[in-house]
Amino acid sequence: MSEAEHFDALETRSPEAREADLAARLPAVIAKAMTAPGWARHLDGIDPHAVTSRAALAKLPVLYKSSLPERQAAEPPFGGLVAERLAAFGRLFASPGPIFEPEPAHADPWNVARSLYAAGFRPGDVVLNTFSYHLTPGGLMLDQAARALGCPVIPAGPGNTEQQLQVMAAFRPVAYCGTPDFLKILLDAAAAKGVAPSLTKAVVSGAAFPPSLQAEVAGRGIAAYQLYASADLGCIAYETPARAGMVVNEDVVLEIVRPGTGEPVADGEVGEVLVTSLDIHRPLIRFSLGDLSAILPGTSPCGRTNRRIKGWMGRAEQSTKVKGMFVTPAQIAEVARRHRDIGRLQLVVARAGEQDVMTLKAEAAAGDAALAEALGATLAAVTKLKGAVELVAPGTLANDGKVILDTRPVAS
């Protein structure tokens, strides 16, 4: 690829240079975070100047997004996790939860522009932005990124299909930002009127983009690329013309860990996504969105050298109640820690005889009754519940991050 197809030189620097840059910036980011009382408590006892590598970062505690509503209610508005006063920020948002988010007051504050550039957005391209502009940051997140690239933006928001078609006829946008579902609605509505849409490129997010819909959109002449982002972090990873996974964004550190723990897993293993933002104005350290993914080997054929992930692969939060007691992925990870000679574990929860039953499936190269008995005893000690143990051959359990599989029928 030519240099013009990359947003800047950061995307194509050597992995070693990137890691050195991340390591050099981590101490300052963590030190800045710890000036906020919530982070000071969360990272109590941590020396930020000692966190100069991924290995050192991996020793820090995880901050779960699911904990934010409770934290923020106890210590409004941001749960003590933001040091600056409100006046330091450009905008203030409220997402479902509710979860309150500040927007740093600098250009492209959500670090999204490079993902649009990877999708082919160029200066002068008119962009139809159908993400919501109301309270949540999605609309403005994409709006500011597009304008940072020199693209005029139509702040359409979602819905109002008829009016959107009128606006499209007037301004002839070539680029689209929004959910893939609404893109299909617009294309179908245009087709019903016999109108050929002007769109040729798109960045989609916020909903599933299955292969069938990808093929349909491509068949209508639109090159659509997926964006993995959140209201807390902005752009985390993005699809490129290589169509080979999603490239991790610059200025973030992404880890894949065993669900319910902070323990990194080997590349290729499906696990929970943790993200550390290096934005000194709004640092987030080992922040879990509760999503599953996996690191892909090597670098992208598009020339970008950052790590790649497979994309969104489901939810990491798999806690469930068995006989009235919560069983969590962290507990299954504890069983694994006590038995280092086994491979993957999966707890299957089912119903039998109108009762909840648990079966712990464990990969073991050489298993016997004694190992099964020991695993059963550990399971009972950790969860306070008894369960059967089934030893299976290595490689039997799927690499899908499902630590707990609940097969009980859902009440209708």
**More confident: 175 or 207:** 175
pLDDT of residue 313: 86
Mean of all residue pLDDT scores within the chain: 93
Question: Is there a single domain that holds both residue 296 and residue 370?
Answer: no
Average pLDDT, stretch 7-18? 96
Question: Is there a single domain that holds both residue 185 and residue 259?
Answer: yes
pLDDT of residue 52: 96
Residue 31 pLDDT grade (very low, low, confident, very high; cuts 50, 70, 90):
very high
Is the separation of the CB atoms in 140 and 194 below 8 Å?
no
Q: Is residue 8 part of a domain?
A: no
Q: Is residue 109 part of a domain?
A: yes
pLDDT of residue 329: 85
Distances (CA, A) of 125 to 98, 146, 197, 199: 35, 9, 15, 10
pLDDT of residue 354: 67
Q: Is the pLDDT of residue 35 over 50?
A: yes
pLDDT of residue 272: 93
Q: Is the pLDDT of residue 164 over 90?
A: yes
Among candidate residues 290, 315, 340, the one where a domain is terminated? 315
Average pLDDT, stretch 156-167? 94
Is the separation of the CB atoms in 309 and 367 below 8 Å?
no
Q: Is residue 1 part of a domain?
A: no
Q: Is residue 2 part of a domain?
A: no
**62-101: per-residue pLDDT in tens?**
999 989 999 999 999 999 999 999 999 999 999 888 899 9
Q: Is residue 9 part of a domain?
A: no
Average pLDDT, stretch 16-44? 96
Question: Is there a single domain that holds both residue 205 and residue 83?
Answer: yes
Q: Domain containing 351 — which CATH number?
A: 3.30.300.30
Find the domain containing 388 and state its range.
320-406
Question: Is there a single domain that holds both residue 303 and residue 333?
Answer: no
Question: Is there a single domain that holds both residue 220 and residue 369?
Answer: no
Question: Is there a single domain that holds both residue 62 and residue 186?
Answer: yes
Question: Is there a single domain that holds both residue 190 and residue 263?
Answer: yes
Question: Is there a single domain that holds both residue 202 and residue 296?
Answer: yes
3-state secondary structure 96-152: CCCEEEEEECCCCCCCCHHHHHHCCCCCCCCEEECCCCCCCCHHHHHHHHHHHCCCC
Q: Is residue 306 part of a domain?
A: yes
**227-265: per-residue pLDDT in tens?**
999 999 999 999 999 999 999 999 999 999 998 889 999
Question: What is the amino acid identity at position 294?
Answer: A
pLDDT of residue 224: 98
The percent of residues in the chain predicted with pLDDT above 70, rounded, is 98
pLDDT of residue 33: 97
Looking at the structure of the chain, the number of domains it has is 2
Average pLDDT, stretch 292-319? 91
**309-332: per-residue pLDDT in tens?**
998 888 777 778 788 777 888 889
Question: Is there a single domain that holds both residue 112 and residue 251?
Answer: yes
pLDDT of residue 78: 97
Among candidate residues 315, 344, 374, the one where a domain is terminated? 315
Cα of 359 vs its chain's centroid, Å: 30
Distances (CA, A) of 165 to 89, 157, 171, 194: 35, 13, 10, 12
pLDDT of residue 353: 75
Q: Domain containing 60 — which CATH number?
A: 3.40.50.12780
Q: Is the pLDDT of residue 411 over 60?
A: no
Q: Is residue 10 part of a domain?
A: no
Question: Is there a single domain that holds both residue 153 and residue 110?
Answer: yes
pLDDT of residue 400: 87
Residue 410 pLDDT grade (very low, low, confident, very high; cuts 50, 70, 90):
low
Cα of 363 vs its chain's centroid, Å: 28
Side-chain-facing half-sphere of 90: CA atoms under 13 Å: 14
The owner of tokens 């609605």 is 185
Q: Is the pLDDT of residue 356 over 90?
A: no
Question: Is there a single domain that holds both residue 106 and residue 67?
Answer: yes
Q: Is residue 411 part of a domain?
A: no
Question: Is there a single domain that holds both residue 395 and residue 355?
Answer: yes
The percent of residues in the chain predicted with pLDDT above 90, rounded, is 79
Using alpha carbons, select from 324, 322, 325, 311 the residue that is nearest to residue 360. Answer: 322
Using alpha carbons, select from 77, 72, 144, 135 the residue that is nearest to residue 105. Answer: 144
Among candidate residues 315, 346, 365, the one where a domain is terminated? 315
As a whole number of angstroms, the distance between CA 55 and CA 273 comes to: 16
Q: Is the pLDDT of residue 1 over 60?
A: no
**179-222: per-residue pLDDT in tens?**
999 999 999 999 999 988 999 999 999 888 889 999 999 999 99
